[in-house]
Amino acid sequence: MIIMKIDTDKTDIDEDGDNLEVEYIAGTQGWERETHIEINDLKKGEYYVYVELDWNQNTTETNFAVTCYGKSNSTFTREERALFTQQMVL
């Protein structure tokens, strides 16, 4: 069994312009192949989606895909996990 957790956050610069503020928007988790989250009426801005997979010891296939569907273009630019700690996100 694989547990997938999805966390969606909106980012913004604080009033001083020197710190990144993160606002939790929504999250979900599931064991199903098509685990997903649907968020309606997001305001224009920059959002980060964090996906965590808890593999069990018997897992041999560790490939996965993250996709985004919506009215506007979405860009997957780079992996940025080195910039944030788990505590910062949670």
What percentage of the chain carries pLDDT values higher than 90? 0
Angle (CA) 50 17 75, round 5°: 35
Token pair of 34, please?
A: 């098509």
In one-letter notation, the amino acid at residue 36 is: H
Question: What's residue 14's pLDDT?
Answer: 66
Question: What's residue 3's pLDDT?
Answer: 63
| Full-model pTM | 0.59
Band of pLDDT at residue 46, cut at 50, 70 and 90: confident
Local structure of residue 82 (DSSP, 8 states): G
